[in-house]
């Protein structure tokens, strides 16, 4: 593994709230929250009063009487998030977007073009502020996990570069909640055992941590606390699955609870499958109980599915079987549905009525009728929004208070390849090219002619990546 600090983690600060303040300058400097009944996101001014995402709106107003609620501009979130990713792509083709507002970059091959990671991070922050108008924090380190911690330390609107020679010293005093995968419940369990810093977690007895958190989760957190993270930055390709989940306070798993929640999840998953002309053969459900215990159940079908009702019914059967296998679990805190083994599904082949009418098969008479209803609703929603039409059991439920547009921003898009239209390249004239979607300057007919780019001595007339040679430059550890 390359020990040089060549990995950046770029994270937009209080993204949704910052966008609202950008769109409405009168909100700048004021405590604001996106949402209504539930706080979806809060500005730093609101966080100073203890307001946080997921908090009930009533509690948020009690903590901050001057809090201003805004409904949210979800199309703007996506547009501005995509624009920031385009800026990141101008410095390296190795951009791994992990959410709408954050990404990892490997800039090891960009030093000769733009300087060391600290200089590249500073350029990114300047361009995002000037061209988009949003604050962004960047961390630079030798591993992905450490770069993410560095960006959290840098917030708000800062830059932290960790020198590889002082990584342990940097991590030692930091609170354990900064480790990726440590939430409030895990933090409380570790604190009860006297583990409050990352250094203490890295030195803890493995059997103690495994006993507190489980074998897999405990071992993973200890690896991260010790900065053992060999994962490279990988621009993601086409998704292999599509899923959605819904978390809620502990609730008894009654039919009145499971039906609407699973129906809503099935509607979201199936709608995204149909949007991209895909269907899947394996349906997986996950149920989380209290104490962070969870269980999954999957079924692989003979034929792919993309219908909302079919997916809901299959999920309900899987969840019912899963709960029957865990009779001692009285409460659930999360339900999730995912569909994998995806395949192209552009048209439906109608079946002859010889094997009966199975509504789960999209080619059967009832299955085709259901799919026609789904596609009609898709068309209406595409024109008038998701709230315009829906299945009554879901539309009338009070368990879908979070807007679907907000949920979709954080969900994996099965069709999207990471954007590389603005990656840095060199052309056969030795200069920087325009984005990949534009023609290489070498194709222009005007002089001067291209210099040879291949040993054969003729112009390749194509852009090619710049060789990844680079040199390490010393810069202070954990410096802003």
What's the CATH number where 404 sits? 3.30.1490.100
If asked whether residues 97 and 157 sit together in one domain, one would say yes
If asked whether residues 401 and 256 sit together in one domain, one would say yes
If asked whether residues 196 and 265 sit together in one domain, one would say no
Structure tokens at 64: 């901050």
The answer to whether position 398 is within a domain reads yes
Residue with tokens 């624009």: 83
If asked whether residues 173 and 113 sit together in one domain, one would say yes
Burial string for 389-413 (b: 16+ CB within 10 Å, else e) reads ebbeebbebebbeebbbbbbbebbe
> Omega into 462 within 30° of 0, i.e. cis?
no
- Output the pLDDT for position 91: 95
Total structural domains within the chain: 2
**With contact defined as beta carbons under 8 Å apart, do 361 and 311 qualify?**
no
The answer to whether position 288 is within a domain reads yes
Domain finish residue from 177, 204, 236: 236
The answer to whether position 479 is within a domain reads no
* 317 catalytic residue (yes or no): no
Structure tokens at 31: 């405590």
User: What are the angstrom distances between the C-alpha of 329 and each of 111, 253, 260, 267, 289?
Assistant: 54, 9, 20, 27, 7
Structure tokens at 50: 């203890």
Share of the chain above pLDDT 90, in %: 47
Structure tokens at 333: 């805190």
- Give the CATH number for residue 175: 3.30.70.270
Q: Could you give the CA distance from residue 317 to residue 315 in angstroms, rounded to a whole number?
A: 5
- Output the pLDDT for position 354: 64
The answer to whether position 192 is within a domain reads yes
According to DSSP, the β-strands at 159-161 and 32-35 are unpaired
List of E strands, 100-199: 102-106, 136-141, 159-161
Average pLDDT over residues 435-463: 38
- Collect all residues with Cβ–Cβ distance below 8 Å to 25 and sequence separation of at least 6: none
If asked whether residues 83 and 216 sit together in one domain, one would say yes
- Collect all residues with Cβ–Cβ distance below 8 Å to 324 and sequence separation of at least 6: none
Q: Which residue pairs, CB below 8 angstroms and at least 24 apart, start in 123-128?
A: 123/91, 124/8, 124/10, 124/87, 124/88, 124/91, 125/157, 125/159, 127/87, 128/12, 128/84, 128/87
Please provide the average confidence, as pLDDT, over all residues in the chain. 81
Q: Render pLDDT for 374-409 as a digit per residue (tens, 0 to 9).
A: 899 989 988 887 778 888 877 766 655 555 565 666
First and final C-alpha spacing in the chain: 25
pLDDT for 58 beyond 70: yes
- Output the pLDDT for position 238: 59
User: What are the angstrom distances between the C-alpha of 464 and each of 42, 300, 303?
Assistant: 43, 43, 42
If asked whether residues 329 and 383 sit together in one domain, one would say yes
Domain finish residue from 387, 410, 433: 410
Lowest mean pLDDT of 57-61, 133-137, 451-455, name the range. 451-455
The answer to whether position 416 is within a domain reads no
Ranges of H-type helices in 236-359: 255-275, 308-324
CA angle 394, 298, 403 (to 5 degrees): 30
- Output the pLDDT for position 399: 58
- Number of other residues whose CB lies within 10 A of the CB of residue 32: 27
308-324 vs 365-384: helix axis angle to the nearest 10?
110
If asked whether residues 384 and 263 sit together in one domain, one would say yes
Structure tokens at 348: 């439906």
Q: Render pLDDT for 132-177 as a digit per residue (tens, 0 to 9).
A: 999 999 999 999 999 999 999 999 899 999 999 999 999 999 999 9
Lowest mean pLDDT of 117-126, 259-268, 341-350, name the range. 341-350
Three-class DSSP category at 179: coil
If asked whether residues 228 and 276 sit together in one domain, one would say no
Which entry of 45, 102, 167, 408 is annotated as an active-site residue?
A: 102
Average pLDDT over residues 285-307: 87
- Output the pLDDT for position 30: 94
According to DSSP, the β-strands at 32-35 and 39-42 are antiparallel
The answer to whether position 223 is within a domain reads yes
Q: Which domain holds residue 348?
A: 241-410
44/427: higher pLDDT: 44
If asked whether residues 230 and 255 sit together in one domain, one would say no
- Output the pLDDT for position 368: 84
Q: Render pLDDT for 318-353 as a digit per residue (tens, 0 to 9).
A: 999 999 988 888 889 889 999 998 888 777 777 666
If asked whether residues 231 and 247 sit together in one domain, one would say no
If asked whether residues 219 and 257 sit together in one domain, one would say no
Q: Could you give the CA distance from residue 147 to residue 141 in angstroms, rounded to a whole number?
A: 5
If asked whether residues 254 and 177 sit together in one domain, one would say no
**With contact defined as beta carbons under 8 Å apart, do 241 and 342 qualify?**
yes
The answer to whether position 274 is within a domain reads yes
Domain finish residue from 358, 390, 410: 410
The answer to whether position 86 is within a domain reads yes
């Amino acid at each position: 593994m390359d020990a040089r600090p060549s990995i950046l983690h770029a994270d937009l600060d209080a993204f949704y709230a910052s966008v609202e303040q950008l769109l409405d300058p009168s909100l700048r400097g004021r405590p604001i929250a996106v949402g209504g009944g539930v706080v979806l996101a809060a500005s730093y001014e609101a966080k100073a009063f203890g307001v946080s995402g997921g908090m009930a709106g009533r509690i948020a107003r009690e903590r901050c009487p001057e809090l201003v609620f805004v409904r949210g501009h979800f199309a703007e979130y996506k547009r501005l998030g995509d624009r920031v990713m385009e800026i990141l792509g101008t410095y390296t083709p190795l951009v791994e977007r992990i959410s709408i507002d954050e990404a990892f970059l490997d800039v090891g091959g960009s030093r000769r073009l733009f300087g060391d990671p600290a200089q590249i991070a500073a350029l990114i922050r300047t361009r995002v502020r000037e061209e988009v108008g949003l604050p962004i924090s960047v961390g630079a380190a030798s591993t992905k996990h450490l770069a993410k911690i560095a960006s959290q330390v840098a917030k708000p609107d800062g830059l932290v570069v960790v020198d590889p020679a002082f990584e342990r010293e940097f991590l030692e005093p930091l609170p354990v909640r900064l480790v990726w995968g440590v939430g409030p419940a895990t933090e409380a369990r570790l604190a009860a055992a006297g583990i409050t810093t990352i250094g203490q977690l890295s030195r803890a007895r493995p059997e103690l941590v495994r006993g507190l958190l489980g074998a897999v989760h405990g071992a993973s957190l200890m690896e991260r606390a010790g900065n053992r993270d060999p994962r490279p930055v990988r621009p993601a390709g086409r998704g292999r699955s599509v899923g959605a989940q819904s978390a809620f306070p502990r609730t008894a798993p009654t039919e009145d609870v499971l039906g609407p929640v699973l129906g809503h999840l099935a509607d979201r998953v199936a709608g995204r499958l149909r949007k991209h002309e895909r269907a899947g053969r394996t349906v997986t459900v996950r149920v989380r109980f209290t104490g962070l215990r969870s269980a999954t159940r999957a079924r692989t079908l003979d034929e792919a599915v993309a219908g909302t009702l079919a997916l809901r019914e299959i999920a309900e059967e899987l969840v019912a079987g899963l709960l029957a296998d865990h009779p001692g679990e009285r409460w659930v805190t999360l339900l999730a549905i995912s569909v994998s083994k995806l395949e192209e599904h552009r048209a439906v082949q109608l079946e002859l009525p010889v094997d009966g009418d199975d509504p789960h098969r999209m080619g059967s008479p009832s299955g085709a009728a259901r799919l026609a209803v789904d596609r009609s609703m898709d068309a209406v929603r595409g024109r008038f929004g998701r709230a315009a039409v829906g299945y009554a059991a879901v539309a009338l439920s009070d368990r879908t208070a979070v807007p679907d547009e907000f949920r979709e921003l954080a969900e994996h898009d099965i069709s999207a390849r990471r954007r590389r239209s603005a990656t840095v390249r060199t052309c056969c004239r030795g200069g920087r090219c325009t984005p990949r979607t534009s023609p290489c300057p070498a194709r222009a007919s005007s002089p001067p002619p291209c210099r040879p780019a291949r040993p054969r001595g003729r112009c390749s007339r194509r852009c090619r990546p710049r060789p990844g040679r680079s040199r390490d430059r010393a810069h202070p550890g954990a410096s802003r």
